[in-house]
Structure 1
Amino acid sequence: MAVASPSPQTAVLNPTAITIPKITIIGAGNVGASLARSLLSQNLGNVVLLDIVSGRPQGLALDMAEACPLEGCTHHILGTNDYQDTAGSQVIVITAGLPRKPGMSRDDLLKVNGRIILDVVAKALPHSPDAHFILVTNPLDVMTYLTWQTSGLLPSRVMGQAGVLDSARFRTFIAHELGVPPQDVSTMVLGGHGDLMVPLISHTTVSSIPLTELLSAAKIQELVERTRHGGAEIVNHLKTGGAYYAPAAATATMVAAILQNQSAILPVSAYLDGQYGLQDIYLGVPCHLDRNGAASIVELSLTANEQAALETSAQSVRQTLEKALPLFEA
């Protein structure tokens, strides 16, 4: 008996039925490469790794692609030097820039990295006008503001990765001190991504127990200071370059929240328009992250000391921003 051939409707899959997100990482240094690997391992989407150095993103991407059969990655990675390959990205992460060296502050990077950011945005945005931009380049809060200003995008679509990383560092130090799993520690670090960041002791718990009931004020302050200088501590160990595993993991957390529409509350560098009493500045605050980006800012109740510290941190970021504004006139 002859068997009827399946109809075209059942035999051919609709190629548009499933849309795989596209994530571009600009900068194939240690942070960019670690982030690409993290995104692939979580199967968050197809990844484009772009760098100005010919061959570097291509080689890294090929190496990661060859690991995929062994690690269960289902999506693709492309290494490139051509911005056309980034077209149609849902999320663009900018890690490009000069890394810190021992004795160098984040502000020392301002001039060179500001010019890099302006160039990257001008080249990437026309190919992906609907993308969300996540900044990792330092000085983080100022680079995020520059990206927003030069892109003309809604501020909710431009954000910086800092608070997720800083909070993870604080959680790590607390967990090590108490001998508990870091997952048991809940905290939030606000403010600028620098030495004046503001770990919120009033919102820090360990298995729902306030941190102040487990550690002395002196020990808590010691952990706060270590968190504020957490990046420099790693730089001093490595001698050349800085942290990359934890920054990549923190950025991947933000990408996942956006692409999966999680509405997760995460501390990110977001644009403030009156929230926390601050105006026209990017600063680390808790936000709902979903498909709309930094959809809304969560205003926490702060102690008087925490509010004052946040305002001091904002003042420092604003001073650095005033140095950066002439970049727009170049």
Structure 2
Amino acid sequence: MFAASKIQRRAFTASARNLSKVTVLGAAGGIGQPLSLLLKLNPRVTELALYDIRGSPGVGADISHVNTKSSVKGYDASPEGLAAALKGSEVVLIPAGVPRKPGMTRDDLFNTNASIVRDLAKAAAKHSPEASLLIIANPVNSTVPIVAEVFKNAGVYNPKKLFGVTTLDVVRASRFVSEIKDTDPKDENITVVGGHSGVTIVPLFSQSSHPDLSSDAELVKRVQFGGDEVVKAKDGAGSATLSMAMAGARMADSVLRAAQGEKGVIEPTFVESPLYKDQGVDFFSSQVELGPNGVETIHPIGPVDAAEEKLIEACLGDLKKNIEKGVAFVAANPGN
């Protein structure tokens, strides 16, 4: 009897290591709903917790009918609901915030979204301090530093577990190149570094199979301002929600794969990075190898051509200001 129960305990412990609770904060929004649906389809997600200031119980009920094994619950908009959604979570995605409108830059979003992200980060620091945090809320260049400062203030900051989701920039670059070259986008390996807005987005075409594209200023601009293309096409009714949801789901899957022991999982992501710290840029997006504890290895940028060197130079100036803005916000607005 004792031997049998011991075997059962071992089996339970082994399976428990592969149990993955994933939480979406902002689950009823334009990004949150398709993101939650994609996560429900991911077999690595065993429990999906959805939270928003309104509508998440309905979204949870709807998605729970999808015939995959994971359980889903939408939590009510209360401190208790937020705490329950976060408790025990392995991965927390934050797409919460207001969307961009025509003529609005990501920077214009700052004041509203900064407060939202700060408050959600406070809850995460309290209820799921060891979770991997995937920040989608714009402007990512500033919201990631905001989360870092909140976690530092709470004494639970782990730079290996904080990620700004920049995957969409790579997704766009590979798709745009495939349209030009008539290839399959999955075969286009385009490295994109820097940040996640405008000129801070730097595609490194010289490192791809099509180095000639490095001199294509129109393509570079399309990658940098692809979000504007969507905002304009939606005629003020929304921004890049569906493609962003796909990118967020891809990043979450990569984090889970690495957490469950898969080797060689590499994603572009905006993290605390040593690459340009000597220039006062504490966060930078580059190819990052993921592991069971989050960030495993931050890869160097590698060789770039003269055109890309200029793009990186322009990127760093803006990026430093964006990061400083996030840090300053928390210092001036610590919240309750």
Q: Secondary structure at the match of 1:320?
A: helix
Change (3 A) 1:323 1:11: closer
CA contact (8 A) 2:276 2:282 kept: no
Specify the alignment match of 1:323 in structure 2. 325
Which amino acid in 2 is paired with 1:286?
A: Q
Please say if 1:122 is aligned against 2:122. yes
Match of 1:241 in 2: 238
Contact 1:266 1:287 in 2 (8 A): yes
Q: Residue 322 of structure 1 aligns to which amino acid in structure 2? A: E
Q: Does 1:269 align with 2:270?
A: yes
What's 1:204 paired with?
208
Shift in Å at residue 91 of structure 1? 0.9
Write the distance in 1 (CA, Å) between the matches of 2:186 and 2:278: 32
Consecutive aligned runs of 4 or more in structure 1 exceeding 3 Å deviation = 7-17, 274-280, 321-324
Using structure 1 for the length normalisation, give the TM-score.
Answer: 0.87
Structure 1 residues 11, 270: closer, same or farther in 2, change over 3 A? closer
Deviation at 1:12, TM superposition (A): 7.1
Tell me the residue number matched to 1:313. 315
Is 1:302 aligned to 2:301, yes or no? no
Query: How many Å apart are 1:131 and its aligned residue?
Result: 0.6
Residues 57-94 of structure 1: per-residue CA shift (max 9 Å, x gap)? 111111111122xxxx1111111131222201111111
Is residue 73 of structure 2 the alignment partner of residue 78 of structure 1?
Answer: yes
What's 1:3 paired with?
none
SS at the partner of 1:174? helix
- Shift of the alpha carbon at 1:8? 6.8
Alignment of 1:59-138 (within 5 A): 59-68=58-67, 73-81=68-76, 82-85=81-84, 86-138=86-138
1:258/1:292 contact within 8 Å kept: no
Tell me if the contact between 2:106 and 2:197 (Cα under 8 Å) persists in the aligned partners: yes
Identical-pair percentage: 28
Residue 36 (structure 1) aligns with: 36
Distance 1:308 1:189, change over 3 A: same
Structure 1: which 5+ residue stretches go unaligned?
1-6
> Against the structure 1 CA distance between its residues 301 and 278, is the aligned structure 2 distance closer, same or farther, given a 3 Å change threshold?
farther
Q: Equivalents in 2 of 1:11, 1:306: separation in Å?
A: 57
1:40 to partner: Cα distance: 1.4
Counterparts of 1:11 and 1:183 in 2: how far apart (Å)? 43
Aligned residue in 1 for 2:192: 189
The alpha carbon displacement at 1:305 in A equals 3.4
Cα distance in 2 between the residues matched to 1:124 and 1:100: 25
Residue 227 (structure 2) pairs with residue 231 (structure 1): yes
Select which of 254, 258, 275 maps to 2:255: 258
Aligned residue pair count: 310
Q: Counterpart of 1:258 in structure 2: which amino acid?
A: V
Deviations 1:202-260 (A, max 9, x none): 1122xxxx342xx694xx32221111111111011112221122212212222122212
After TM superposition, give the deviation of residue 109 of structure 1 in Å.
Answer: 0.8
Which stretch of the first structure deviates more once superposed, 310-319 or 110-119? 310-319
Structure 2, unaligned stretches of length 5 or more? none
| 1:273 to partner: Cα distance | 2.6
Displacement of 1:16 after TM fit? Answer: 4.2
